[in-house]
Amino acid sequence: MTCEPTNVPSPEEIDIPAIQEKYQQERNKRIRPDGQKQYAKIKEEFTEEYLHDPHTPVVSRDPISEDLDVAVLGTGWSGLLSAYHLKNAGITNFRNIDHGGDWGGVWYWNRYPGIQCDNDAYCYLPLLEETGFMPSKKYSDGYEIYDYFKVIAEKYSLGEKALFHTLITGLRWDDNIKRWRISTNRGDEIRARFVIMANGLLNIPKLPKIPGIHDFQGKMFHTSRWEYDYTGGSYRNPVLDKLKDKKVAIIGTGATAIQAIPYLGKYAKQVYVLQRTPSPVDQRNNNPTDPEWAASLQPGWQKERMANFHRAAMEGRFLPGEEDLVGDFWTEITRNLMAEVRAEGREQEISIEEYYSRRDTMDYQVMERMRRRVESLIEDQETSEALKVWYRFLCKRPLSNDDYYDTFNRPNVKLIDVSETQGVERMTENGFVANGEEYDIDCMIFASGFEVTSDLDRRWGIDTYEGRNGISIYDHWKYGYKTLHGTMTSNFPNQFFIGYYQGGLNATTTEQYGRQAYHSTYIIKEALARGLSAVEPSEQAQEAYVQHVRETAVDISAFQAQCPPSYYNNEGHKVKDEDGHLKFRNFLGEAYGPGWDAFEKLLADWREQGDLDGLVTE
Ligand code: NDP
C-alpha cells in the first residue's frame, strides 16, 4: 500500500488555459438536447429485461396482508443498516422488502465479470470491527461484498422476515389508520406505521433509446442482469468460454464497463467497445490484506480510517501531520498537495485561498498524468488519443484497473469512438451502425448505467406514491428536495429517506447511510415509546432547515459547468427550482455545506435535546 505522492508534471509543463479550452470543447460536443430523454424508461420499453432476475429463480407465494411497525424498502446497504439499527433499538416488528432475490441491492444485481468495489474496502464495508470480518484485499470482489451482507444479516438475525422478489408498486398514507399502505407486484397489502425508504441510488438500469434497438435479433442485456448462461462462466468464476466464437459489442466506458471489458477481451472472438466519453483509469495496486497489519489494528481503527479518507477525499486537506491512510487515486490530489506544502514547511501558515487555488492546479497536473499514462500503455495512436480524458477530476468517477488499457492492445478488441455522433447511431437486425459503418455482432451489452439524477419518477419507478391528502412525492419534490435534516419531509408522516438528499455528505457511502439509519431509528423508537401515531416536520421547521442548507451550501455550479454530461449532473441539463432559477442537479443531492462533522453534531444535539424539535406529532 503506497501512500507516497505521485509523480505528476509540474505546473510549468502544462498549458492550463489551453487545457481548459479543450475541456469546454469536449463538454460542448457531448451535451445532447434530449438530456435524460435519450434513455428509455426501462419499465415501459424493456419490461422483460427489467423484471427478469437471471440470478435466482422466483418462487411463487401467497400474498401477505399484515400490519407492521416498520417497512424498510430495500435490502442494499441502506436497508441492511436500517435493519441493524432497528434491531439494536429493540424494534423487531419490521420487514425489509426488495425486488432482488437476496440481500445486496446493487451488489445483488451486479454480478458482471470483474466486479469489484472501487473504494477502499476497509472503509467501505461497514461494521468491520463489530463483526470481526476482514476484507481479503484492498478492493473487494463483488462476491465478497455480497457474502458479507449475509455475514451481517446472520450475525444480527436481520433476515427472518425479509421479503425478496417483491417489487413495491404503491405507497399511500392512510390517515384513517395512520399507516402507510404498501402494495406490491405479489399482491401484498402491507400496513406499516413507519416506512424507511432505503431504495438506493443505482437501482433502475437505463438503456439508450438507440433507433432500431428493438430490431436487433441477437442477444442483448444490461450489465446489472449479466447472463452467464449465454456468456459462459459464473459470478465467482467468470471464464466466458461460450463467447469464443461470438462478436460482442459493449456500450459504455464507465465504472462497470472498465471492469467487464478485460474479460470480454480475453474470451470473446471480437469485441467492439463503443465509447462516448472515456474514464480516467489508474493503476489499481489491489494488494491482499497484510495479516500483520490487520493484527496490529487498535479498537476504533475503522472510524479513524473513514475520517482520514473523508478529509482526503471530501475536505481536501489533512490535519497537521496526518498521513494518508488510504493512499489511492481518490486521495491523490490531497496527498500530493500536502506533501508539497509540508516540504515547503508551510503546512500551518498557508492561507485557505492559496491552498485551494493550488488544489485546482494539482487537479490539472493529475489529469495530465492520467493522459500520459494512456500514451505510455496504448500502442495504437488513434486509440490512445480517444482514451485520453479531457475533464477535471471528479467530473466523472475516477477508476482503476490493471488490465483495462492493455485490453485495447489485443487484436480482437476495437475501440469505436462515438462522441461525434453523441452515441451509437443506430441498431439493425444484425448489429449496429457507428460513424456510418455497420458492424455485425452476436451480442450487445449495455453498460449504460442507472437513473441517478433524472426526474424522481424515473429514478424510483413506484407507480403511486402519495402522502397526506393524496399529495404525490413526485409533485412535492418536483422543484427540489424539502426536508428536515435530509431525513423526513412534511406531508409524508412517519417516512424516512436514506440516501443523498439534504444531509451531511461522507466520503464513505455506507457510513453516511448507517448514520442516517441510526437517526431515523431514534425517531421511530421515540415515537413508539411515546405512543405517537404520526410524526412529520412542521412546515416552519422544514422551511428554516431548507433555507439554512441553501445559504450554507458550497457552490459547485462553476465546476459542474465544466463537466461533460453524465449521471453526475443530469446529463448536463439544468432544471428549474421553485423560484424559477435554473440549477444543475448533483447526484449527491443538496449536501449540508458546513460539512459532515457539523451535520453529525447538529443531529446529536437535536437528539440530546430530546423534544423532537421541529416535528409535529399526533
Ligand atoms: P455510468 O453511468 O457511469 O456509465 C454509463 C456509460 O454508458 C457511459 O460511459 C456513457 O457514456 C455510456 N453511454 C450511455 N448511453 C450511450 C450511448 N447512447 N452511446 C454510447 N455510450 C453511451 O454507469 P456504470 O454502470 O458504469 O456506473 C454507474 C455507477 O455505479 C458508478 O459511477 C459507480 O457509482 C457505481 N459502480 C461502482 C462500482 C465500484 O465501486 N466498483 C463498479 C461499477 C459501478 P457518457 O459518459 O458519454 O454518458
Q: Residue 423 CA: which ligand 1 atom is closest?
A: 19
Residue 413 binned pLDDT confidence (cut-offs 50, 70, 90): very high
Is pLDDT above 80 for 2?
A: no
How does pLDDT run across 561-586, given as a tens digit for each residue? 899 988 888 888 888 888 888 888 88
Is pLDDT above 80 for 110?
A: yes
Please spell the DSSP secondary structure of 421-438, one letter per residue. TTS--EE-SSEEEETTEE
| Closest by Cα among 512, 457, 452 to 485 | 512
Residue 49 binned pLDDT confidence (cut-offs 50, 70, 90): low
Q: Residue 223 CA: which ligand 1 atom is closest?
A: 25
Q: Residue 313 corresponds to which cell in the numbers above? A: 477525499
Q: CA-based diameter of the chain, in Å?
A: 70
> What is the reported pLDDT for 492?
98
| Nearest CA owner, ligand 1 atom 10 | 252
How does pLDDT run across 455-481, given as a tens digit for each residue? 888 888 899 999 999 999 999 999 999
Q: Residue 254 CA: which ligand 1 atom is closest?
A: 26
Those residues whose C-beta lies under 8 Å from the C-beta of residue 438, and which sit 6 or more positions away, are: 428, 430, 431, 432
Q: Residue 352 corresponds to which cell in the numbers above? A: 485557505
Mean pLDDT within 344-354: 95
Q: Residue 116 CA: which ligand 1 atom is closest?
A: 41
Query: In the structure, which protein residues have their CB atom closer than 6 angstroms to any atom of ligand 1?
Result: 30, 116-118, 202, 208, 210, 251-257, 274, 276-277, 397, 418, 423-424, 447-450, 566-567
Ligand 1 center–CA 395 separation, angstroms? 13
Distance, CA of 286 to CA of 189 (rounded, Å): 47
> Which CA distances in Å does 1 have to 186, 281, 342, 414, 483?
48, 18, 21, 33, 41
As a 3-state breakdown, the chain gives helix, strand, coil percent values, each rounded to 5, of 40, 15, 45
Would you list the domain boundaries of the chain? 65-203+452-553+590-617, 563-589
611 phi and psi angles, rounded to 5 deg: -110, 15
Mean pLDDT within 366-390: 98
Mean pLDDT within 341-350: 95
Ligand 1 center–CA 253 separation, angstroms? 6
Residue 134, number of CB atoms within 10 A of its CB: 15
Ligand 1 center–CA 250 separation, angstroms? 11
Strand order across the 413-417 sheet: 219-222, 443-446, 247-251, 270-275, 413-417
| Closest by Cα among 338, 362, 366, 360 to 350 | 338
On whether the 65-203+452-553+590-617 domain is CATH 3.20.20.140, my answer is no
Distance, CA of 137 to CA of 135 (rounded, Å): 6
**Which segment of 27-41, 52-66, 363-377 scores lowest on mean pLDDT?**
27-41
Ligand 1 center–CA 257 separation, angstroms? 7
